[in-house]
């Protein structure tokens, strides 16, 4: 469906690449095409909970069992230690992503298991299994692997894993980003994207909570910094709660928007406030020696711990906890629908 030329969504698309923050193919078809599609455990749980996906879940569980038997025979290390239901969750998520791709110009972003957020090795294995080497190609033969991006939480371990994946030709998105420290390391390791969370994640799970420190200026700062060092990494803000928040970021590289806000933005009567990117006099941090953090884990960790007196580290921990809760719910859902 084409945007109304006077809609806020059309305006946003004139300034930024717009991604859909959903695995609902109907939304992508109705309001697309979009550039990319972003997802996470909460989005996957919301979509897979719909009655129309009961058969998809059953098929995913059956496929997981078949794959585990085959991989046990071949001793494929990518499948070592993975449980049946966890693999079924990965397959179901990939199936949903494949359904959305006809309505995209660019990539689908799938998130690694948050329980691996502090393991380089497990994150890499999960990414290869989930994204490039096997599942997408197995479920959609002929799949163009350049259209896959792996979302990885912005821990030290996660971003070091991104380095390995990027060198292997796998696009990565460093997600749950709350500080310039994380953004500097993400550029050093060569992430394709970073996702600064404008609101801490609990705004979507704790009724009545309002983030007192929304990170609009951080998105502007990161993009200005990246341009100053000619970084390849693109800024893709996430965790937005209103159309005003979305439009306040018009001019950012990418922006991902949830279906309810996309619907509101598509209306011709949606107002268009100013954007933080309208201010040409951006504040760019002083030049940084390269590499700054990639080879100095201790320096990175203390800089991140010190950011906003520990608030950024607390937000990251909170986000990982919430995504772990949603991973548990996905496992429980898969079990309940497959019995």
> CATH code for 34-238+277-338?
3.20.20.70
Q: How confident is the model at residue 2 (pLDDT cuts 50, 70, 90)?
A: low
pLDDT: is 323 or 136 the higher one?
323
Judged by DSSP in three states, 32 sits in: coil
CB 85 within 8 A of CB 335: yes
Range with the poorest average pLDDT among 52-66, 84-98, 248-262, 283-297: 283-297
CB 40 within 8 A of CB 323: yes
Percent of all residues in the chain with a pLDDT value above 70, rounded to a whole number: 93
What confidence score (pLDDT) does residue 169 get?
A: 92
DSSP 216: H
What confidence score (pLDDT) does residue 129 get?
A: 79
What confidence score (pLDDT) does residue 31 get?
A: 94
Phi, psi of 111 (to 5 degrees): -100, 140
Beta bridge partners of 173: 151, 193
pLDDT: is 74 or 130 the higher one?
74
Parse the chain into domains and list their residue ranges.
34-238+277-338
Given strand 108-111, what is the order of strands in its sheet?
108-111, 148-153, 171-177, 193-196, 234-235
CB 276 within 8 A of CB 249: yes
Q: How confident is the model at residue 284 (pLDDT cuts 50, 70, 90)?
A: low
Region 325-339: mean pLDDT is 91
**CA 116/CA 129 separation, integer angstroms:** 13
What confidence score (pLDDT) does residue 288 get?
A: 62
**CA 190/CA 31 separation, integer angstroms:** 31
Region 277-293: mean pLDDT is 68
What confidence score (pLDDT) does residue 18 get?
A: 98
Tokens 């306040």 label which residue?
248
What confidence score (pLDDT) does residue 255 get?
A: 98
What confidence score (pLDDT) does residue 279 get?
A: 75
**CA 164/CA 318 separation, integer angstroms:** 26
What confidence score (pLDDT) does residue 70 get?
A: 82
Judged by DSSP in three states, 183 sits in: helix
pLDDT of residue 233 exceeding 70, the answer is yes
The secondary structure of 47-109, three-state, reads HHCCHHHHHHHHHHHHHHHHHHHHHHHHCCHHHCCCCHHHHHHHHHHHHHHHHHHHHECCCEE
**Residues forming the active site:** 151
Closest CA to 307 of 173, 215, 193, 189: 215
pTM of the model: 0.94
CB atoms within 10 A of CB 163: 19
Average pLDDT, the chain: 92
What confidence score (pLDDT) does residue 138 get?
A: 86
pLDDT: is 208 or 68 the higher one?
208
pLDDT: is 284 or 166 the higher one?
166
pLDDT digits (tens, 9 = 90+) for 71-99: 777 777 767 778 899 999 999 999 999 99
pLDDT digits (tens, 9 = 90+) for 270-279: 778 889 999 7
What confidence score (pLDDT) does residue 245 get?
A: 97
Phi, psi of 144 (to 5 degrees): -80, 105
Percent of all residues in the chain with a pLDDT value above 90, rounded to a whole number: 79
**CA 87/CA 84 separation, integer angstroms:** 5
DSSP secondary structure letters along 295-314: T-HHHHHHHHHHGGGGHHHH
pLDDT of residue 289 exceeding 90, the answer is no
Length of the chain measured in residues: 339
Closest CA to 98 of 65, 122, 66, 63: 63
pLDDT of residue 291 exceeding 70, the answer is no
Region 30-59: mean pLDDT is 96
């Amino acid at each position: 469906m084409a945007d109304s030329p006077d809609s806020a969504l059309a305006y946003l698309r004139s300034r930024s690449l717009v991604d859909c923050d959903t695995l609902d193919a109907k939304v992508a078809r109705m309001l697309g095409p979009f550039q990319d599609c972003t997802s996470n455990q909460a989005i996957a749980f919301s979509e897979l909970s719909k009655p129309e996906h009961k058969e998809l879940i059953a098929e995913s569980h059956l496929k997981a069992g078949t794959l585990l038997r085959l991989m046990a025979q071949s001793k494929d290390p990518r499948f070592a230690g993975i449980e049946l239901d966890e693999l079924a969750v990965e397959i179901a998520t990939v199936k949903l992503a494949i359904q959305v791709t006809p309505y995209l110009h660019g990539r689908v972003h799938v998130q690694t298991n948050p329980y691996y957020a502090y393991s380089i090795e497990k994150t890499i294995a999960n990414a290869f299994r989930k994204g490039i080497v096997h599942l997408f190609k197995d479920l959609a033969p002929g799949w163009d692997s350049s259209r896959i991006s792996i979302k990885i939480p912005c821990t030290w371990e996660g971003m070091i894993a991104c380095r390995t994946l990027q060198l292997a030709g796998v696009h990565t998105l460093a997600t749950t980003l709350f500080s310039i420290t994380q953004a500097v390391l993400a550029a050093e390791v060569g992430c394709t994207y970073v996702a600064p969370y404008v609101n801490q994640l609990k705004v979507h799970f704790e009724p009545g909570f309002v983030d007192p420190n929304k990170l609009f200026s951080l998105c502007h700062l990161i993009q200005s910094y990246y341009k100053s060092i000619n970084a390849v990494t693109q800024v893709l803000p996430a965790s937005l709660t209103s159309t005003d928040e979305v439009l306040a970021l018009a001019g950012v590289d990418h922006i991902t928007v949830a279906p309810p806000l996309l619907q509101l933005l598509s209306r011709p009567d949606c107002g268009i406030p100013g954007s933080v990117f309208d201010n040409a006099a951006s504040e760019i941090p002083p030049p940084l020696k390269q590499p700054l953090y990639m080879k100095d884990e201790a320096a990175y960790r203390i800089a991140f711990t010190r950011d906003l007196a520990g608030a950024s580290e607390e937000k990251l921990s909170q986000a990982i906890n919430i995504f772990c809760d949603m991973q548990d719910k996905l496992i429980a859902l898969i079990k309940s629908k497959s019995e």
